[in-house]
Structure 1
Amino acid sequence: MKRYISFLLAVLMLVTLVPTAAFADAAETDMKASDNLKLLIKGWEGLRLTAYKAHPSEEYWTIGYGHYASDIYEGMEITLEQADAYFEQDIVGFERGVNNTAKKYGLSLTQNQFDALVSLAYNFGPNWVDYNTGWRLARYIQQGFKDSYGNPVSDLELADSFAVLCSAGGEILPGLVKRRINEAEIFLYNNYSTELTHFVAGVFNANGGTVSGNRVVAYYKDKAYGSFPNVSRDGYKLDYWKDSGTGQAVTTSTIADKTRTLVAVWAGGATPEPTTYKLTVSGGEGSGSYTVGAKIKLVPSANGTKIFDHWEVTGATASKGSDGYWYITMPASDVTAVAVWKDGCLFGDNCPSKNFADVPVTYWAHNDIDNVVSAGMFKGLTETNFGINVAMDRAMLVTVLYRLDGSPDVSEYENRFSDVSSSQYCYDALLWGSHNNISNGYADGTFAPNETLTREQLVTFLHRYANYKGYNTDVYADIGGYADAQQVSSFARESMCWAIGAGIINGTSSTTLSPKGSAVRSQVAVMFNRFAGGMTF
């Protein structure tokens, strides 16, 4: 299974660095991945609760922490708990694959060596060693980490055999370069920290020429490079190598203090070296010198408990790709991009959701839930559970609108519904809603308070409430471009156009509205936050 990786998070862990022996005594039972490794893999993979394709050539969709399977489909959404379950399900298969490999080739692995190979299997599949004998690392594993002459493989050579496994579709991915070096340090030195201590990588860009050998080479950190791969280009002579980020010349005597991309600078030839312009990225990956028209992915770094919000770009325009990342197309001028984060909780120590175990500060809708709870629109299902993944029912929605209106007195209003009684928590809200023509119920005289709320009912109730309050509802969008637009009921069509146009609700994908689909409480909280913050008179 060919996998491509996207990176949203970095996991920082400080551990004591202890060089390990080549192999440990054989384990009596099958080994399991450590918690340290699981945290690292989750950080490398990144968490995506909506299905995406990490690369256009992929056959299937991916979701969660890199879960790639035939039953994942476009527009699919999962919860954090489901993502964790997928991850634990996946890791078992990769553990089994590495255990089988160890048995097949007679290897006795330490925990850190086992973990490094499980991480590789997470990218390449549980049986990658058997099917990729052209890879040096696969051969070394098959040969008990010895070369073809029976000599132990040196640490640097082993790290180099990790480092080269970092491309997708012929493209070298910077995040994978870092991951491979990290895995090598886990394997050799038990270093689970993302702060690398022994190795860095050189990524060689031949700039119109050809690299003889590997384009990625591992080097000892804080030592001179010593050597570079040979490069050639018809009609040209290599002048020097330069750092893609700083533009400064780099020689074999330069200290390899960090992983960097080295670009060949050529002399001679009929065509001058392409003009490049500098992109400076603060708070993420993507810095370098690029030619006009180059498309560069901006990848935000982790920033403690803060949540990435947006990029502030000067000199160009950033656009969001289908993979969820932002991209810049390089103009004929220098560009700067600064990552902007928002606090994990805008309320600080007074967080309205702090007692809800299912709304941690890292949850994608945390701040929206804070706002609607603080405003009194939403309450938890219990004191410790907001119910983020509980489907909203019709009565819940009208109750929230009733609270938003200040919970006015309804003692003079008539109960028009045969299935609503004064003993129900939603009684006052439903009387208020029917009296003000916001929630009129069904033709048979029922309201069906416990019936799951559909997306088209949701926007209809919101639209009626906005008109009842006298808000400006003149913003409409054409929904004809959605494939399922004809599935929107006639009573809800105007309301759906308004909600899309006002930015209160989005399609479930770029081509679908899912009008008959349901919405969970966290999603509705986000919509209410947009609604309450965006309405004007």
Structure 2
Amino acid sequence: MNNHLLVIYMQKGNLVFMSKIKKIIILLTLVLLTSLTNIQTPIFAIEDDKFFEPENNIALEEETNNKNDQTDEAINVKDNTEETLNLVLKGDAAKVNYFYVGSPYLETPDESEFVVSFGDGSEDVSRMNLIIEGHGDSIIEIENINRVGQLFHFKRLFTDEESGVYKVTEIRYFIDNQEYQIVLSDLGIDALFGVNEEYDGYVATYSNETNLDMSDVEGSIVSLNPDNMENSETLIEEKIKEISSKTPSSLSSLSIDNNFDNKESKVFVIALDPGHGGSDPGSTTYYGISEATLNLKIANYCKQELETYKNVRVVMTRTGDTSMGLEERVTYAVSQGANVFISIHLNALNGVARGAEVYYPNSNYRPELGTEGEILAQQVLNQLVALGISNRGIHIRNIDDGDDPKYNYPDGSRGDYYGVIRHAKKQGIAGIIIEHCFGDNYADYNAYLNGEDKLQRLGIADANGIANAYNLQKISRDEINDFAKENKDVIKDGVYEIQSNLNNNYVLDIKNGSAYNGANVQIYESNDSTAQFWQISHDSIGYVTIKNLNTNTVLDVDAGKANNGSNVQAYSSNGSYAQKWIIEKNEDGYVIYSALNPIYCLDVSGGNATNESNVQLYISNKTDAQKWQFTTPDFYESFLDVTLQNWFHDSVKYVYENSLMTGLNETTFGPYENLARAQFAVILHRMNGQPSVVYTNKFPDVATGQWYTDAILWASDIGVVTGYSDTGNFGPGDNINREQMAVMMYRYANYLGYDTSASADFSKFKDAKNVNEFAKEAMTWAVGAGIITGKDNETRLDPQGSASRAECATIIMRFMEYYK
């Protein structure tokens, strides 16, 4: 007998054959019968009892459109007499259980074999033919050579002259002399094989080589042999009908508390293993993208979703296109505290199969891990099926008879076939393999893989299944609110420089000091610029807004999504949770958590303290890349609108520290606000120690008991201020201009007996002619003493211009320092 590789095309998926094109696809030994005359039994028996799915699994979506649709859509063909025309009716596609193609590649002279499983064996099918299209316009029609129950066996010898690529296109069968047609492409089956020529997409690993470590091949192997030939149909039927009698719905009732006992962080750690990678790309998907690439994308989306659950941490066995041995993957996961191991894959079977299936541990050695894995597998599969993916079931796979006993478990029981599942069990955790769909199938690829949104849905489905299995709970807004309330008083409102614990010389910074929405946030060496000063303010709950003093934009999470690597930017304030933060104090710094999901916090990408190192969100890991110090910049901390870079910084600090001027409120000085005449009188009154006065109705607009009453009356009494000559009013709310300020300071200096002989020709100023006659003497003194220096690089006095609070502070400081 000859051994041949079989490619299996399934509609209903009654037998589940997981495979990998880049590894071993499906090694099967088809028993070829040497004598057709005495064949009375099925032609093959299935040895492995773990490769099938429940009877209620979802068939190909297309089949429902064809079921029992024996319409008058037919084609005319000639009968054998070529005198009458018979209608060929559309066949019942739902009855095609599976379709075997023998060797996908054969070298002549050799026979190609095919097996069709059709219906349940009760159909009165008199014969069945296959239509095969060859190169050019050649058509080959072959009739079944044997039938046992539902199995129809075909065979044809190919010669050297028939080299080329062939495609099985139709199944034709006859009932009561009526011919029916089933088009395989309608079932999503693209059944190719080559004769002395490899078809496009054929992978050379189709071979009979058996010198591989089969237990660690990320695929499935099924053997067909001549044993129990008489019972083969019964065995197949039993396996098709085998359904697990018990499928628990959740792990919440299981005694698996030890899985959550991660002593360091008290979190449930989930290891995601994106299959293949590096030198092992896995199978090739329909449009040529490697399985490894898509596995990693799905795993990343799964990770993002899982991290929205509380007390969950996700570790990845790979985060790039890197190679890693199967045992090495598990060992790494366990070293990171993993409580469960989930391997992410895509199936492949020459483009002809569809659907999702999940593999879980057997019940040997550590049966509780088998139970845990079964529940987890079913919950994940439920979520995938809910997306519309065909249901191929959950399965276990044991090592095969005759495999090296080293793959058994330490207690001598039969080991799980797949390496990651077996290694995980040996290291004390449950492991499963998720085969999401068939990446090389046109329909599966386009429905579930050909876009980031579709890959994200797969990852979220995995996460939902995991969450259901372990009864994981998402973090609620109430819980986040409580966390914010608990930390409301950790940092006081004020202005801070926010230093990285990696190196305190590097601080939170907006790139290029940009005020544009979306400007990148980074760390940069401290330079005392306002792009590095941040105003902290709390809302009523306790959430913090972090506003940049230079741009008035706030820290914001790009796209409002908290994930590892989510970029942090500066953006106009909109009050969203993407712009709210929670600051918590720990033993050696502060952690700034995102209010979107406080398992994520402000993080320096790469953990490198260098100029322009990016700032992002990342799951909390207690490293210095996520710890910060809040320091008060070297200026009066209460005034948020006065910084070291302002020309008036020193004078504002001087007048405040000497109790000569206060702010408009506790945090605002208002340097650019105009100064009123009453305010200036109050400043002079303070400079003189605030002597008391007796109220007189000297000015009609200065009433008793006002905050400025005593100051104005005192200043009037000593001749520093006067009222308006035309009305007799003082005008307490009127803005004071620069020449009025010079006059009042000059009079005050004379009142104190100071030397006012300083003099300078102010005619050098281009607007000198604008100085009023009554102010010229005072302006000569003010310029000469350096108390007024002029604007615009000392080219303008601006005598009629309103004096700002910053200008007043500067003039007062210069006066005090000149006469000290």
Relative to the length of structure 1, the TM-score reads: 0.38
Decide which structure has the larger Cα Rg and report it. Answer: 2
Higher strand share: 2
